[in-house]
A and B are shown apart, each in its own frame.
Chain A
Amino acid sequence: MHGAAAPTLNRGHHKRRAGRTILPTIWFTIPALVVYLIIVIYPALSGAAYAFTDWSGVGEQLRFVGLENFRKVFTDAQSLAALRNAVALTIFIVFVQNGVGLVLALGVHSKIKSRNVLRTIFFAPAVVSPVVIAFLWKYLFDPRPEEGINAVLGFIGLDFLRQNWLGDPSIALWSIGIMIVWQLAGYSMVIFLAGLQGVPQELHEAASIDGAGGLRRFRSITLPLLAPAITICTLLSVIGGLKLFDQVFALTGGGPGYATETPSTVIYKEAFVYGNYGYSTAIALVLAVVVAAVALVQLKWLRGKEVEA
């Protein structure tokens, strides 16, 4: 009897311990949870209701319009063009930003003496406000031949590459892309660097003994083991690219014409410039669903390709 009773007492003891551990944790989270619900969740959900109205953003006058705003999202040429711009910019950012980030990471992962200084320099732009970066680049993108990037191109004899960086509709979107890559490649570099430091050195040594060259080792060892870092980097780039706002708004304001509009700049203009708050909310809802869907599919696909060392 004594032997049989002992486990029961122990279970009860564990139960009480578990109860004491969990309850205070819940109580401590409640204030933060309440604030989060009030400040984030409730306004987001109640804001969604405006997508079914024609509210102007000020005053009490509004009318229920059903799904009219959503119909307009999928038929309005400006919204669809903005979505196309965002997709093009996202693809550019995903490949170029992460490609440059990976090259930088491989460079500063080597044993060169200045690697810590270089890591800091490459990462520095990522911690500066996107708006500040955009204003700086506005000067670099000065179209006059004796200013900014055009002056540098002239100085090194590449006059034929001078551009009207922000004024030419066929170039302006890519100018924004270049600025974003410059700012955020260091951010990708840091993530890739963390991934590179997790690649076991023994695998490289064993492969070297087997006669594998640098390129082969990168392709067969480094790259597969970097898959988790690639997943994170591309996921962040896709989400950031699709909802891009600050840099576009500060650099071109969506122009010239509508050449660099993104869904986020359209949302802003519809709500705060045109006074179409209801329609703006509908675009925001559609964008949120699109970003979430793309991110989930991408995450699932990339996770399936990850391997462990």
Chain B
Amino acid sequence: MTTSQLGRARRRIGLVIGSAVATLSLVACGGVETNDGDQPSGEGITLEIVGNTNGQDATEALVEAYEAENPNVNFTTSYAPVDQLQTALRTRLGAGNAPDLFAAWPGDGSSMATVPLAQAGLAAPISDQDWLTRVPESLRPLLGYEGESYLWSAGVGIIGTIYNERVFEENNVAIPETWSELLDTCTQFESLGIAPMALGNQTPWITQLISYAIATTVAFGEEPELAEMMLTGERTFSNSGWRETLERYMLLEETGCFNDNVNGTTVEQAISMLADGDAAMMVTVSPHYGQVLDASEGRATFGMFPFPAAEDPDDLVIPAGIAQGFMASPTSDHLDIAKDFLAFIGQQEQSEAFAEAGDLIPFGSEDPAELDPILQPFAQLINDDRAMPYPDQQWPNAEVQPTHFAVIQQLFAGTTSIDQALQTLDDAYND
């Protein structure tokens, strides 16, 4: 069967199902008059937007602001957690039933990332929008594909170390600034019966955070072009800094840096350990800072510092990835309005509000002093060009990232070796 035959078959079934459903609806309603959308014809236009539960309040605020400026436009919004969101959106996109605007991720490396969606013609280009000029040139390619931009994002999320200030102060432990100091800090807390770092590897995506926090310094710090070298085959996981990354990850485990049974601990349990003072630190994404504060209910104060992956702090390179954003569907009946919405939320005021709600560093924030204090040291490093995107955003297919989750769980379970883990990653990369 050829592409066009299958395409025609899909369109036919879509038409048949659509007709059947329409007929049944009319029968069920007894011939009630219908209008497109929620509004009576001529009174307004309704667009659908599907987003991430984590950013629900911030998204609603953007929608309200746009509706206030455009009284004839209304939005229906729905949200889901990341895993369900990606599945549901992918299914809808595959079935030719895309929402007008939907959540998507930068770069490549996942099924809802910009590159595969743009390749499949499922994203509308927005290259002419003004806000793109605020995005650093080094990051802009991650919003697009082959020179065109497709994704709106509010800014950059970082991976860092959230720490319980009360636990550090009560036990007179200093914040580690180098790799050796980090190992010493682990030993100190372990001897006090406090888990040095809470790690919830039962939640798959959490497994990658420490790996990235090490790799950006150890693997990419020494070879800044590593991602491109891996694409050309010059480097692989097995013969690059990824080997030392995994070795250091396991060294942390051997040193006693983590809570017991990390593979059986969820991210929620890890957050609770940090909030309760059962753990001193947690390496995670900046949006988790607010969740830790909520879980703590005021029993402690918390700060955030860059993960000290380097022996010399001047060599530190932090992971800072473009955050999940929104795309417009090229098949939208109201594509112009969908693009206009993206241009609207790309305005500095709107983007900054969205970024602040999600503990992101907005594009174009030249003065770190204006940011949330926990983000300031990270913003300084970004401005000093000592940050690089999350490695998965530059992986060539959607299989590498989940394989990375799985091999790290296997390493902690002792069911694979570092050699085997690297080989498995290479196999997934070349698949």
Seen from chain A, the residues whose Cβ lies within 8 Å of a Cβ on chain B are 34-35, 38-39, 42-43, 46, 49-50, 52-53, 55-64, 138, 141-144, 164-169, 252-253, 255-259, 268-269, 272-275, 277
Contacts and interface: CB of A to CB of B under 8 A. Distances in A.
6 contacts: A58-B117, A142-B264, A143-B264, A166-B263, A167-B264, A257-B410
Contact of A39 (B17, B260, B262): B17
Chain A interface main SS type = loop
Given A169-B413, A274-B399, A43 B6 contact: no
Interface of B: 1-3, 6-7, 9, 13, 16-17, 20, 24, 86-87, 90-91, 93-94, 110-111, 116-117, 119-122, 201-202, 204, 260-266, 269, 397-399, 402, 405-407, 409-410, 412-413, 415-416
B111 A57 contact: yes
A56 B120 CA distance: 9
B264 A166 contact: yes
B171 to A, nearest CB: 21
A272 B92 CA distance: 11
Nearest to A269: B402
A62 B24 CA distance: 33
Contacts of B9: 46, 49
The 7 A-B pairs with the shortest beta carbon distances in the complex, nearest first, are A167-B264, A59-B120, A167-B263, A143-B261, A257-B410, A143-B264, A256-B409
Contacts of A277: 94
Contact of A38 (B16, B204, B410, B416): B16
A138 B266 contact: yes
A256 B413 CA distance: 8
B98 to A, nearest CB: 9
Contact of A43 (B13, B110, B204, B261): B13
Contacts of B407: 257
Contacts of B204: 253, 255
A166 B63 CA distance: 41
Given A49-B6, A255-B204, A273-B398, A143 B413 contact: no
A59 B265 contact: no
A179 to B, nearest CB: 14
A168 B399 contact: no
Nearest to A252: B202
A58 B413 contact: no
A169 B415 contact: yes
Nearest to A63: B3
A62 B10 CA distance: 13
A269 B94 CA distance: 15
B412 to A, nearest CB: 7
